[in-house]
Structure 1
């Protein structure tokens, strides 16, 4: 049987009646409940009932029945997207977001070489087995990530100048832009900061507040009670605008891959009193005491004007945590109740008890770096949570389900594996110099395999020459 068939067989066996002592051992063992192979898996979100997962599949979307977590089944696939357009299909579909019965898919995640359709595709998923495209809004920028709330899509729009968030009303028959927000509009000094250090990587919305993961510029809070007129609330992080302005262009690429900084993903708990900000980094020089990979900061934001850092969740340790080694840096995550569900690429997935956010407690951790590289972790039901596996060059991508409880992985493997290919042309640090083959235009645009990490454009920029960086900024 294939690896994932073995996992299914193990899950089925676990359901058989055993003696009380064996049942207790099964309860403490933390392993996948089921796995569905699904090419191109990136972001995964879950419907309100916890019975359906919605997946960005790089070339489109898929829906997955997870009502039986031990046997996830694909319901439908819509791919490739917008293939009938002259500049179609849409490529690098890395993100989907769900609000009620409306799903959006955005792309391409990174700027491409050559013309390709860009924007947000809208679906009616009232019948998850038959998604119906109901709209499309074309943009003049690549869309790496998005959020959807109350009919408004919030899109990352990194243009190299203002790097704004763009608000698009997708509730009607014709989707249309209704507003924009940019740190540059708030304070002109940000324009002088190298664009890759203030990239808007991801967004999250809770009620009337937009939370922006603004890379080294930190985490920003914006009032969107009127999406057409967003207003600055506050921002916080590791660097001031003056410090970032002083970083020379030639050093900005290396800085963008190093901690501290790198606000990559942000989310808040259910009453927005606690905010988690995850960093993404592959620092090869850890002599300064910082972990080479990015972790997660927990903040008290009950008073948005006076945020207070509460704690830090360290990344899983790795002996070769560069972009060419084992990735254990933080990626996407989700709060639900007193728990935080996290993904760490080859570092696996974890559950933390954050009932005391000043002292988070790890409840469960599963990893297998030679078989899975996780993009996200999402709550499904009281019994299970879901994780998206982006796959690698020697193993499949897909959707995993895990028990939603504490436990320990039996015989966990070492966090060291074969190198992961990247699309970086040349990566230079004080510690080492690594040269990899420069991809062709087609290869740079097709990252369904090992490819670039969560923010391929930024990572590629970090390895480019100063001239190429300047050209990118001018072109955008």
Structure 2
């Protein structure tokens, strides 16, 4: 089931060594003619010079949850949110209280796309669920914001107290020297996140000196003029509708933020008739005089079955001057393209939906859906890499915009 203005132009199924039942596709990053796809079994590099005929360039077996991925020059970075027996790719899953247990960031050299090379790793408290890259003023330094939940009682890798944010510095010319350089606690005195420390996702907009943090229990608007010491501009809460503040997206001129709620953690059917449209959805906030003001909500409008895990997940802005349009993954709810130019009345303009994966249900569907250089790329947990074309008068202007490197949690103006 697909809207008339959306067409599937290519699909690349998962293949060995990234095709076991638990080797789920996860997040995406882009660089020139290449797409990088994280996978619980490692990661893959695709040649997308012809998006209708993508080709596998290389696949790296490096198991862990959840291998959230980003790229910077010749470096590729993976988030490891699972206690492992060691930092390298040949490590095994380990209990969080196991001696020598490790989780954090892994760093690879991708100067040779056909042969990515493991370089180093950084251990971080409670691992790294997701991460965000922020270029330092010194171009030789890359900062990486670590987002991870915690603490976990009795855990050796995630003890209490757990820092809200950890910042890793990667010397670009010597990534083997990467290390934690800051643990800023941006929660104002007298306030605290509802569910312990940590954030789920942070989106940075360095050109605007802004970041939006989706932390457990609240959303935050931050000043990151000093990337090592974020300052709180505002904290917002939505106890009535939001359960897990999952991610954030600015519009191009940074006058709006879309926060999403991953009700049920991604494993539940929350797009059914029993769940209100304001839950497991997106909330649109206008930034007025430097402050967030909540406007409307948007939820993928097609009712899903009780066997389909469906909730708001990863998406990105389409580069359309004067319009605010996003593409977004909804797990088994598929891919939705929606317009929030009118913050109070968002509307869907296109979609791609495969339907249920099977009668028994299970985790499946689109983990991430992003717009890059004229096409929508969807990382489907079980089906592989999907490439979609949307042809619509509203979205067609985006096809004239070309990006060179695109990490979705690090926004750039167009």
TM-score range, shorter chain: 0.7 to 0.9
Report the 3-state secondary structure (helix = DSSP H, G, I; strand = E; otherwise coil) of the residue aligned with 2:192.
helix
The Cα offsets for residues 164-218 of structure 1, whole Å up to 9 and x where unpaired, read as 111100124200112123355x234427x443xx6511111111223211132x2
Q: Tell me, in whole angstroms, the C-alpha distance in 2 between the residues paired with 1:211 and 1:37.
A: 34
Question: How many Å apart are 1:136 and its aligned residue?
Answer: 1.8
State the secondary structure of the residue aligned to 1:71: coil
Correspondence for 1:129 among 102, 114, 118: 114
Query: What TM-score do you get using the length of structure 1 for normalisation?
Result: 0.64
Tell me the CA shift for residue 313 of structure 1. 0.9
Equivalent position of 1:20 in the other structure: none
Residues 319 and 206 of structure 1: CA distance in aligned 2, closer, same or farther (over 3 Å): closer
Q: Deviations over 1:69-100 (max 9, x none)?
A: 222221112222xxxxxxxxx52133012234
Q: CA deviation at 1:64?
A: 1.1
Aligned-residue CA RMSD in angstroms? 3.0
Alignment gaps of 5+ in structure 2: 85-93, 136-141, 152-160, 358-363, 394-414
Higher strand fraction (1 or 2): 2
Deviations 1:33-56 (A, max 9, x none): 11111233433334243x211111
Match of 1:281 in 2: 263
- Tell me the number of residue pairs that the alignment of Structure 1 and Structure 2 aligns: 339
Correspondence 1:43-442 to 2 at 5 A? 43-49=26-32, 51-80=33-62, 91-108=64-81, 113-114=95-96, 115=98, 116-150=101-135, 151-160=142-151, 161-172=161-172, 173=174, 174-182=177-185, 184=187, 186-190=188-192, 193-195=194-196, 199-207=198-206, 208-216=209-217, 218-239=218-239, 259-282=241-264, 290-291=276-277, 294-301=280-287, 303-304=289-290, 306-318=291-303, 320-321=305-306, 325-338=307-320, 339-371=325-357, 373-382=365-374, 384-391=375-382, 397-406=383-392
Q: State the partner residue of 1:14.
A: none
How big is the shift at 1:162?
4.2
For 1:268 and 1:194, locate their aligned partners in 2 and report how far apart those are by CA, in whole Å. 25
Is contact 2:269–2:308 with CA below 8 Å preserved after alignment? no
3-state SS of the aligned residue for 1:152? strand
In structure 2, relative to structure 1, the CA distance for the partners of 1:72 and 1:319 (3 Å cut) is: closer
Aligned-partner Cα distance in 1 for 2:106–2:304: 41
1:236-281 deviations in Å (ceiling 9; x for gaps): 1214xxxxxxxxxxxxxxxxxx943421111212222221111111
Q: Distance in 2 between matches of 1:194 and 1:361?
A: 32
After superposition, give the CA deviation of every residue in 1:218-243 in whole Å (9 maximum; x if it has no partner).
Answer: 2112222223323222111214xxxx
TM-score (norm 2): 0.73
- SS in structure 2 at match of 1:170: strand
Q: State whether residues 352 and 360 of structure 1, in contact with CA within 8 Å, keep that contact through their aligned partners in structure 2.
A: yes
CA distance in 2, matches of 1:230, 1:287: 40
Runs of at least 5 residues in structure 1 that lack an aligned partner in the other structure: 1-25, 81-89, 240-257, 392-396, 408-476
Rounded to whole Å, the distance in 1 between the matches of 2:341 and 2:278 is 28
In structure 1, the residue matched to 2:90 is: none
Higher helix share: 1
